[in-house]
């Protein structure tokens, strides 16, 4: 047993951040490192299960369950609840410094022995819900549900999984509503999956009455809010066609915000990020710089290819990163980094080869073990029984203590 103080900071309670925080906090719970402190930092007071957003726009009760209090995440890992070692801070990350400290938007400066960045990528509403409080976030999502119900026409821009699911849920719930899905590519869904998946998705969406438009890049004015408000809007495509709608969803181009590394890049006089902001990493998930061996980047925020940016892959990444931090802690890296030679686990680089895409409660497509189930009934069966029941909400809810989403 080591009694030394060890400070681990996890910034961003994404799917990866949850897995990392719990895995490392468990060390203290086992009694091996009573001086281990895990601090989690996130700009929101709540964790939002964004995977369930397509169902939430048509199911008010389901949407209510997608929010979880983050301050309770590590409570089960406290050895002495009256003297907590772990901490949640609601704030944004402003800067990472070369002296192993970070600066937060609330004015705090935290020192760390190990830093894990899992700040993810920012999507448009409702895949991302920003609000001052959990209650406000729920209210905003519930208002969107009512707006979807009342709008006569809906435009979904982007034919990835979220766009297909959103269009399918709305068309399935409201068969008389005009729903249009516009996608810039020649096929729907991510290109790392088989073309048969796209063929099936197009066919089934059209069966639901969705107007599917491919090879059309929309011209979107910079001030278009995509905030879930009903407003008559005419948007043009590059083809010259005009698309009229009362309610619009943008389901393309999540953006990576890593401006917090600018000052660190200046201090080290090097680039740590790709042009899109993604953090360059080693196969161990350490940032790719010799002076940053105790800083890791996991999930959407890192520079791995798109095929690694799925929830299941984020958890796998988190497991590797957490295992490496634990290995470093056990080897005493935070005490004597120069004299500590450790062998760390490396990511195998495998991309996702499984996907399930519901379109409402009864239709969908899937790819499992490299086999695409697009047009056939098997895709419907898998979508309905694997993901379409609750978008895996019940499984993910178990990551938090009971009552966290009450």
Per-residue CA distances from 82 to 30, 86, 107, 172, 179 (Å): 17, 12, 27, 50, 54
| Beta strands at 218-219 and 295-297: parallel, antiparallel or unpaired | unpaired
pTM: 0.94
- Say how many Å lie between the first and final Cα of the chain, rounded: 38
> What is the biggest distance separating any 2 CA atoms in the chain, rounded to whole angstroms?
69
Q: Which residue has the higher pLDDT, 340 or 30?
A: 30
Q: For residue 34, what are its two tokens?
A: 């009573």
Supply the CATH number for residue 30's domain.
3.50.50.60
pLDDT of the residue at 1 = 66
Instruction: Check pLDDT > 70 for residue 139.
Output: yes
Nearest CA-CA partner of 298 in 357, 345, 359, 244: 345
pLDDT of the residue at 309 = 82
Q: How far apart are CA 12 and CA 79, in angstroms?
A: 24
pLDDT, tens digit, 9 for 90 and up, residues 234-254: 999 999 999 999 999 999 978
Q: How far apart are CA 210 and CA 206, in angstroms?
A: 5
Q: Which residue has the higher pLDDT, 81 or 203?
A: 203
Q: Is residue 23 part of a domain?
A: yes
Cβ-contact 182, 218 below 8 angstroms: yes
**The residue to which tokens 């030394």 are assigned:** 4
Q: For residue 139, what are its two tokens?
A: 């209210």
Q: For residue 66, what are its two tokens?
A: 């997608």
Instruction: Check pLDDT > 70 for residue 257.
Output: yes
Q: Which residues, other chains included, contact 362 with Cβ-Cβ below 8 Å and sequence gap of 6+?
A: 172, 380, 384, 388
Cβ-contact 42, 12 below 8 angstroms: yes
Q: For residue 203, what are its two tokens?
A: 């066919």
Instruction: Check pLDDT > 80 for residue 109.
Output: yes
| Beta strands at 233-237 and 242-245: parallel, antiparallel or unpaired | antiparallel
Task: Report the chain's C-alpha Rg in angstroms.
Answer: 22
pLDDT of the residue at 266 = 97
Q: Is residue 54 part of a domain?
A: no
| H-run or E-run covering 204 | helix 195-207
Long-range CB contacts for residues 354-357, cutoff 8 Å, separation at least 24: 354/312, 355/161, 355/189, 355/190, 355/193, 355/197, 355/310, 356/382, 356/383, 356/386, 356/387, 356/388, 357/161, 357/164, 357/165, 357/189, 357/197, 357/201, 357/383, 357/387
Q: Is residue 52 part of a domain?
A: no
Instruction: Check pLDDT > 70 for residue 339.
Output: no
Q: Is residue 114 part of a domain?
A: yes
Q: How far apart are CA 334 and CA 113, in angstroms?
A: 6
| Beta strands at 355-359 and 363-368: parallel, antiparallel or unpaired | antiparallel
pLDDT of the residue at 210 = 98
Q: Is residue 160 part of a domain?
A: no
For residue 279, give the DSSP letter.
Answer: B
Q: Number of folded domains in the chain?
A: 1
Instruction: For 119, list phi and psi in degrees, rounded to 5.
Output: -80, -5
Q: Report helix, strand or coil for 219.
A: strand
The residue-averaged pLDDT of 292-303 equals: 96
pLDDT, tens digit, 9 for 90 and up, residues 148-194: 999 999 999 999 999 999 999 999 999 999 999 999 999 999 988 99
Structural domain for 100, as ranges: 6-43+91-122+255-339
Q: Report helix, strand or coil for 41.
A: strand
Instruction: Check pLDDT > 90 for residue 29.
Output: no
Q: Is residue 295 part of a domain?
A: yes
For residue 302, give the DSSP letter.
Answer: B
For residue 373, give the DSSP letter.
Answer: E
Q: Is residue 286 part of a domain?
A: yes
pLDDT, tens digit, 9 for 90 and up, residues 346-368: 998 787 789 999 999 999 999 99
pLDDT of the residue at 186 = 96
Q: Is residue 301 part of a domain?
A: yes
pLDDT, tens digit, 9 for 90 and up, residues 323-336: 999 999 999 998 88
């Amino acid at each position: 047993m080591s009694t030394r103080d060890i400070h681990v900071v996890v910034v961003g309670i994404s799917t990866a951040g949850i897995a990392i925080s719990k895995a490392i906090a468990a060390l203290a719970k086992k009694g091996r490192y009573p001086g281990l402190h895990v601090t989690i930092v996130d700009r929101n007071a709540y964790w939002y299960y964004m995977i369930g957003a397509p169902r939430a726009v048509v199911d008010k009760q389901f949407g209510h369950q997608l929010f979880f209090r983050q301050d309770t995440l590590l409570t089960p890992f406290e050895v002495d609840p009256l003297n907590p070692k772990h901490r949640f801070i609601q704030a944004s990350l402003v800067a990472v410094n070369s002296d192993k400290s970070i600066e937060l938007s609330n004015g705090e400066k935290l020192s760390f022995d190990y830093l894990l960045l899992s700040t993810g990528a920012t999507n448009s509403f409702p895949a991302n819900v920003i609000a001052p409080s959990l209650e406000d976030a729920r209210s905003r999502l519930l208002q969107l549900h009512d707006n979807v119900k009342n709008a006569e026409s809906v435009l979904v821009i982007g034919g990835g999984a979220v766009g297909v699911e959103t269009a399918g849920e709305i068309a399935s719930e409201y068969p008389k509503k005009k729903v249009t899905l516009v996608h810039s590519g020649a096929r729907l869904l991510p290109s790392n999956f088989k073309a048969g998946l796209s063929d099936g998705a197009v066919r089934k969406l059209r069966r639901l009455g969705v107007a599917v438009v491919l090879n059309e890049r929309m011209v979107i004015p910079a001030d278009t809010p995509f905030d879930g408000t009903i407003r008559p809007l005419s948007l043009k495509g590059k083809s010259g066609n005009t698309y009229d709608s009362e309610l619009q969803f943008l389901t393309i181009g999540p953006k990576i915000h890593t401006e917090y590394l600018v000052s660190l890049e200046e201090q080290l006089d090097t680039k740590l990020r790709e042009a899109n902001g993604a953090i360059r990493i080693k196969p161990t998930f350490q940032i790719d710089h010799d002076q940053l061996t105790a800083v890791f980047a996991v999930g959407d925020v890192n520079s791995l290819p798109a095929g690694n940016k799925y929830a299941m892959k984020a958890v796998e990444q988190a497991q590797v990163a957490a295992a490496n931090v634990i290995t470093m802690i056990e080897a005493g890296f935070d005490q004597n980094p120069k004299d500590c030679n450790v062998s760390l686990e490396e990511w195998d680089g495998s991309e996702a080869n499984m996907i399930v895409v519901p379109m409402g409660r009864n239709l969908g497509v899937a790819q499992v073990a490299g086999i695409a189930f697009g047009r056939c009934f098997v895709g419907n069966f898998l979508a309905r029984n694997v993901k379409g029941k609750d978008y895996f909400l019940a499984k993910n809810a178990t990551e938090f203590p009971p009552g966290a989403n009450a």
